[in-house]
């Protein structure tokens, strides 16, 4: 499944991206659509078919599932 993670800070996004690379998880940093987050503006799109919980960390603001219709909120860490 394809997901988009948003972050509170730029450094959090970079750290997350590096962690995905270490785990051999395909990913791409990209600008976050304004309607999804007003924080740092950088997100990481990633493809994972395993247990998504293994990539959770304290830097993530939200994770969205990417669907044909658009983005669907999967997990909000800001609650």
- Count up the domains in the chain and report the number: 1
Cβ contact 77:61 at 8 Å? yes
Torsion of CA 73, 78, 22, 45, to 10 degrees: 30
Residue 38: predicted pLDDT:
67
pLDDT tens digit string along 8-67?
999 999 999 999 999 999 999 999 988 887 678 899 999 998 899 999 999 999 999 999
Residue 78: predicted pLDDT:
79
Domain range enclosing 57: 2-76
Angle at 2 between CA 10 and CA 14, to 5 degrees: 15
Q: What are the backbone dihedrals phi and psi of residue 14, each rounded to the nearest 5 degrees, phi first?
A: -65, -45
Residue 10: predicted pLDDT:
92
Which residue matches tokens 């995905």?
A: 20
């Amino acid at each position: 499944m394809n997901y988009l993670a948003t972050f509170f800070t730029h450094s959090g996004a970079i750290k997350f991206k590096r962690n995905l690379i270490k785990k051999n998880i395909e990913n791409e940093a990209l600008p976050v659509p304004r309607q999804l987050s007003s924080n740092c503006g950088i997100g990481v799109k990633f493809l994972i078919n395993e247990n998504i919980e293994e990539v959770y960390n304290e830097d993530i603001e939200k994770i969205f599932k990417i669907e044909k219709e658009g983005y669907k909120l999967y997990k909000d860490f800001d609650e």
